[in-house]
Structures are given as structure tokens and as C-alpha cells.
Structure 1
């Protein structure tokens, strides 16, 4: 509900609509500055995990396969563990192939 000051229902008295180059129009609060350009680095980490990430991936495969050894009697969980380990192996092998052929055109 709107109160007596006219605020509410989308009425912001301290904001103004501005035109930004190469962007849609935006609303800037009083005392603020419009954003001119945002780089991916400004929003967080964007790189690959690299060699360490691939090594850790293969270690995860070994850890998951070690889950098959144990005192459990049901085999349904073995199928799930094997399925997840196989999916991880497929992703790691795809990454190896992608890195190997990355300089070539398709």
C-alpha cells in the first residue's frame, strides 16, 4: 500500500532514469553513478581449475570406486556409485580430448 508521501507502488523519489551507452536504460539512485562496463572478473572467479583440478578429479574417481569395498549387502548402491564414477571418467576423458584438440579447427 502506498502511504501519504507518495512512496510505494513503484514511486521512488530519489531515483532517476538514465540512458547508458550500449546498455538498456537504467535507474540510478541519488548519489550513484551508472555502470559503464562490467567485466567477468568483477563478478568472481572465471578460470579453469587447471592441472590440479584434473588430478583431483581422478582422485575422486578412485575414492568413489573405493566405496564399492565394504560390508553392505545390497547392490543397488554399487550401481549408483559406478554410474557416478563412470560419468566423472567420461567428463575427464572429454576434457583430455578437448585440451588435446583445442588448437585445431573442427
Structure 2
């Protein structure tokens, strides 16, 4: 089989068989990604924060892990609050 060199915009140069055509654009839907996780995903994130904070109750003596747990939970809360603000101010919120 013979091949030809194809210069694709935004990609490396490729070798393509004569009977095939180079990939011009791949849509996310072609790979199974159709958007955000929606309300269920956001509710799951709040639930994960509660579970994470439940780790503070236990029989551990050191407090370094408590700082990590609180820090990770705080970052998750900040991300979720940013998402609420982003969706509220968006042209088309979901």
C-alpha cells in the first residue's frame, strides 16, 4: 500500500494510506463525553465533602491529617461555590 504525507492543522505531520482520509476534527461526543455531570454530580460532590469531614472523627492522635482533610474539603467547597456563581451568571446555566 502506498501512503502520502499530510500536514494537518494543529497536529503533527501524518502518514495516511491512499484509501483513507486524515482526521480533520474529533468531536467530544465521538468519544462519549456529552457535557457536565449535572445536578446529580454536584449533589455527589457535596456528599463527598460530608464524608470527607466525617474522617475528622476517629481515634487518631496526630493533627496533621486533620489539616489535610480540612484543606481538601475547603478547596472542594470553594470549587463548588465558584460553580454555583458561574452557573448563576452564565448566559445559559444548566
TM-score w.r.t. structure 1 length?
A: 0.71
Partner of 1:38: 26
In terms of fraction of residues, the more helix-rich structure is 2
TM-score w.r.t. structure 2 length?
A: 0.79
Give 5+ residue unaligned stretches, structure 2: none
Larger radius of gyration: 1
Quick one: which of 37, 45, 64 aligns to 1:76? Answer: 64
The answer as to 2:91 corresponding to 1:103 is: yes
Please state how far the C-alpha of 1:30 moved relative to its aligned partner: 4.5
Counterpart secondary structure, 2:39: helix
- Where does structure 1 differ by over 3 angstroms across 4 or more consecutive aligned residues? 23-26
Give 5+ residue unaligned stretches, structure 1: 1-12
Partner of 1:57: 45
Partner of 1:10: none
Higher relative contact order at CA 8 Å, sep ≥6: structure 1 or structure 2? 2
Partner of 1:92: 80
Superposition RMSD in Å: 2.4
